[in-house]
Structure 1
Amino acid sequence: MNILIICQWFPPEVAPIGVMLMELAEDLAKNGNSVTVITGFPNHPSGQVFKGYRKSLSTSEIVNGIRVVRCYLYTSPKKTFFRRVVNYLTFAVSSFGAAMMLRRQDLLFMVSPPLTNGLMALFLRHIKGIRYIFNVQDIFPDVAISTGVIRNGFLIRFLKSLELLIYHGAERIAVISEGFRGNLLAKGVSDAKIRVIDNWIDTGEIVPMPRDNEFARAHGLPGKFVVLYSGTIGMISGAKILIECAEKLKDRKDILFLFVGEGVVKTEIEEKARATGLDSIRFLPFQPRNILSQVQSSADVSVVTLLHRKGNSSVPSKILGYMAAARPVIASVDPDSDTSRLIERAGCGICVNAEDAPALTEAIETLYNDREKAALLGRQGREFLVAQCNRKVITSKYESLFSECCERRPK
């Protein structure tokens, strides 16, 4: 098969979706498929192009048997709504141009967000006849509407109509949870089009390590009970609740709250943390992928949070990293969310209601006082991940889906 993948993020960026797509592309190529990836110049999360790269209209290289085409996109370290929109639009236009220059592809695998990618998939289907699978990692525009990022009624109606048009034009829609499937069904999408395929992580790359490791020693973590929040600190994350938890636990001098990552609300959380005057809260930037096993393993417990009613349009990928390192997960999420259901299926942690700081604090104290239970939950998470969400199992499911679509007669 000749497979085209379009995603705005791709290694050396550490965005989880980019890493997963690199692994998917590598596995497809190893099985004899011809794979082309169209992506942007690496700049996430800083908004500044990485050293060794220089923006141009497009470049092409072969990486591990994959043709990687990098296209121009607007970048800026300033995280405003307008700049983000321009970033999305410039990539949409340049990636469309790059795709038009390619020889005929059997299938396009298009990742959302941003939703503008779906518009390009529609154009490519109608102009060049490329059928596409639409991969939904976050449900847009639902996320942007629920957080108040988009409030204009006309724009909301336009985006909702565009969303349905994209779904209608897709050969198949791959979603990452049953909750996402239910969301699409409620919008009138045919169940026959939808496939639920979990996200994954390479359990051979992220492995359990001792808590007292090189990363931990470099940051003075040994001897501390580390509560880790690792990954994107986004608008719907609700991560500010951890500052309240730290205040409630301030008398336990050995408990340290460690944030590792970046995001649009990180500065706000840092300011709130400084205002408390506590020295039990620490912030670090994203770490190199080759030490992620050390980073995740430095934790005693790992935390995921989401704002109330935001768990049905987003599933934080950070959970997979926690589970891969065999660390127990404490989640502050809605009980009917996909995140809660995943943790229950895996038996890997404790869930409390979203935005309930006292309950989250109590859950942290529970595992602080019962290290054997914490270790058991961590082991169970790792075992579930290896059996159900490992790289080989999930990429094989995608390859089967691609084959199914390529064997179907074009509409």
Structure 2
Amino acid sequence: MTDILIITNYFPPETGAASNRIFHLAEGLKKHDFKVSVLTPLPNYPTGEIFDAYKGRFKDTSTKNNITIYRLWIYASNSKNKLLRLIAMLSYSFSLCWFFLWNKIPKTVIIQSPPLLVAFTSVLFLRSKKRKLILNISDLWPIAGLELGAFKKNLSYNLLEKIEYFNYKHADLILGQSNEILNHVRSLFPKKGTFLYRNYPDFVTPKVSKRVVSKGKLKMVYAGLLGIAQGVYKLCKELDYTHIQFHIYGGGTERDKIQTLISNNPELDIVYHGEVSRDTLHKVLVRYDLTIIPLLNRIYGSVPSKIFEYARLGLPMLYFGGGEGELIIQKYDLGWIAKSGDYDDLNTVISKIKSSDIELKNRKRIIKIAIEYFDFGKQLDSLIKKVQ
């Protein structure tokens, strides 16, 4: 049995795509007879506060489904203040260094990036000719931060580029969730070993029952993080509600602004449902006519994992984010495309979607595509050949 350590910033009971992705990876490796351990901070995302069950602890060690989980101290914060966010990352990096000094580390380690600084700390301390370091890149930093407006091209940005370069250089294998990410890595290190590792979900496909498309207004749903990158608050203000009723599930930094907008503008046909568990969400999502996947700005390298999750549910998608995600929607005919950042085009596309169009997308057909092309098990089998 091969020992393998996964280092990540996000893990259940935290919610969200990053947490789900690493959880499924850990579970999948365990089922393939790996002895899996996970190194992660005390749960704090997305609230920026340590969860009640873990408050007052400096660390926590537990075993769940034969996976050992080490939770380390972090100065938790989701503040917009860059200094506080830096302190939060540095605090976890400090905890990682302490752990590395006092614990035996397996010969194979998977390191999640971003956060860039946490990945750098792990690579710096663990690089060794006798150890295999696998860097799992879900977003390209600092490029993504530049496109989101979080960074400017200055000395700090140049330093982050050097950190990024260092991480790639010393990784033995790089996993990327998009071809854009892998192309970027190869532009810096043409001979570096890479593997396309999409964020495919791992859950049982629900039984398909006949669903009646709404009469009158179509019911469109968004489910996920209400953060700056998704731009759901701006979306709420820009949508034309003539043809749709907009339902929202999730939490994040824009939640309060969205609730205030709804309260002050009752004429907007928006319903906010709060946060629900993933299992509950899967049950309610299939009741809607379509879902929207928005990004405030097109982010190079980003492919929202919602695409693959919604395909597994057979839910038609309206994609509003550009980039590689747009190409996937078009290639597999999973829904509709609106030009990234163009709200007039978005409303035009929505106005042209008819009940008959949704019926033509056909839930069974979408699920069949997901099973054939977005299969977690097949992808994991291919990855394990690279890991061993």
Count, aligned residues: 386
1:328-379 CA distances to partner (integer Å, 9 max, x unpaired)?
1101123xx1111111222101112112222212322333x23454452544
- Cα distance in 2 for residues equivalent to 1:25 and 1:167: 22
In the alignment, which residue of structure 2 is the partner of 1:350?
A: 336
- Cα distance in 2 for residues equivalent to 1:191 and 1:306: 32
- Cα distance in 2 for residues equivalent to 1:141 and 1:228: 31
- Cα distance in 2 for residues equivalent to 1:33 and 1:182: 30
Contact 1:36 1:66 survives alignment (8 Å): yes
Report the CA distance shift for 1:95/1:104 in structure 2 as closer, same or farther (over 3 A).
closer
Report the CA distance shift for 1:242/1:41 in structure 2 as closer, same or farther (over 3 A).
same
Report the CA distance shift for 1:274/1:11 in structure 2 as closer, same or farther (over 3 A).
same
Please tell me whether residue 360 in structure 1 is matched to residue 346 in structure 2. Answer: yes
Please tell me whether residue 389 in structure 1 is matched to residue 377 in structure 2. Answer: no
One-letter amino acid of the counterpart of residue 330, structure 1? L
Contact 1:135 1:175 survives alignment (8 Å): yes
Report the CA distance shift for 1:357/1:167 in structure 2 as closer, same or farther (over 3 A).
same
In the alignment, which residue of structure 2 is the partner of 1:204?
A: 204
> Which runs of structure 2 are paired with 1:83-232 in the superposition (5 Å)?
83-126=84-127, 130-151=131-152, 153-186=154-187, 188-204=188-204, 225-232=218-225
- Cα distance in 1 for residues equivalent to 2:274 and 2:217: 20
Please tell me whether residue 301 in structure 1 is matched to residue 294 in structure 2. Answer: no
1:240-298 CA distances to partner (integer Å, 9 max, x unpaired)?
4532453x234x4xx31112112333444444555544241122333112212123213
1:190-215 CA distances to partner (integer Å, 9 max, x unpaired)?
25422112111024166656769xxx
Contact 2:47 2:252 survives alignment (8 Å): no
SS at the partner of 2:6?
strand
- Cα distance in 1 for residues equivalent to 2:95 and 2:206: 34
TM-score, length of structure 2 as denominator length:
0.90
- Cα distance in 2 for residues equivalent to 1:373 and 1:49: 42
- Cα distance in 2 for residues equivalent to 1:210 and 1:271: 36
Instruction: Flag structure 1 segments of 5+ consecutive residues without an equivalent.
Output: 213-220, 404-411
Report the CA distance shift for 1:210/1:242 in structure 2 as closer, same or farther (over 3 A).
farther
Contact 1:302 1:328 survives alignment (8 Å): yes
In the alignment, which residue of structure 2 is the partner of 1:327?
A: 315
Cα deviation for residue 171 of structure 1 reads: 0.2
1:373-393 CA distances to partner (integer Å, 9 max, x unpaired)?
445254433222211222212
Contact 2:6 2:39 survives alignment (8 Å): yes
Please tell me whether residue 243 in structure 1 is matched to residue 236 in structure 2. Answer: yes
In the alignment, which residue of structure 1 is the partner of 2:69?
A: 68
SS at the partner of 1:160?
helix
- Cα distance in 1 for residues equivalent to 2:208 and 2:88: 37
- Cα distance in 1 for residues equivalent to 2:207 and 2:348: 28
Contact 2:205 2:313 survives alignment (8 Å): no
Instruction: Flag structure 2 segments of 5+ consecutive residues without an equivalent.
Output: none
Report the CA distance shift for 1:307/1:104 in structure 2 as closer, same or farther (over 3 A).
closer
SS at the partner of 2:367?
helix
- Cα distance in 2 for residues equivalent to 1:366 and 1:301: 13
One-letter amino acid of the counterpart of residue 304, structure 1? I
SS at the partner of 2:160?
helix
**299-308 vs 369-378, greater mean Cα deviation:** 369-378
**343-352 vs 22-31, greater mean Cα deviation:** 22-31
Report the CA distance shift for 1:109/1:90 in structure 2 as closer, same or farther (over 3 A).
same
One-letter amino acid of the counterpart of residue 249, structure 1? Y
Cα deviation for residue 236 of structure 1 reads: 2.5
- Cα distance in 2 for residues equivalent to 1:58 and 1:7: 15
Cα deviation for residue 129 of structure 1 reads: 5.3
Please tell me whether residue 399 in structure 1 is matched to residue 384 in structure 2. Answer: yes
One-letter amino acid of the counterpart of residue 196, structure 2? V
Report the CA distance shift for 1:206/1:231 in structure 2 as closer, same or farther (over 3 A).
farther
Cα deviation for residue 79 of structure 1 reads: 4.5
Contact 2:144 2:300 survives alignment (8 Å): no
- Cα distance in 2 for residues equivalent to 1:117 and 1:197: 20
Report the CA distance shift for 1:165/1:10 in structure 2 as closer, same or farther (over 3 A).
same
Identity %: 21
Please tell me whether residue 30 in structure 1 is matched to residue 31 in structure 2. Answer: yes
- Cα distance in 1 for residues equivalent to 2:236 and 2:367: 28
- Cα distance in 1 for residues equivalent to 2:313 and 2:261: 29
TM-score, length of structure 1 as denominator length:
0.85
Report the CA distance shift for 1:167/1:345 in structure 2 as closer, same or farther (over 3 A).
same
Contact 2:335 2:361 survives alignment (8 Å): no
Report the CA distance shift for 1:287/1:278 in structure 2 as closer, same or farther (over 3 A).
same
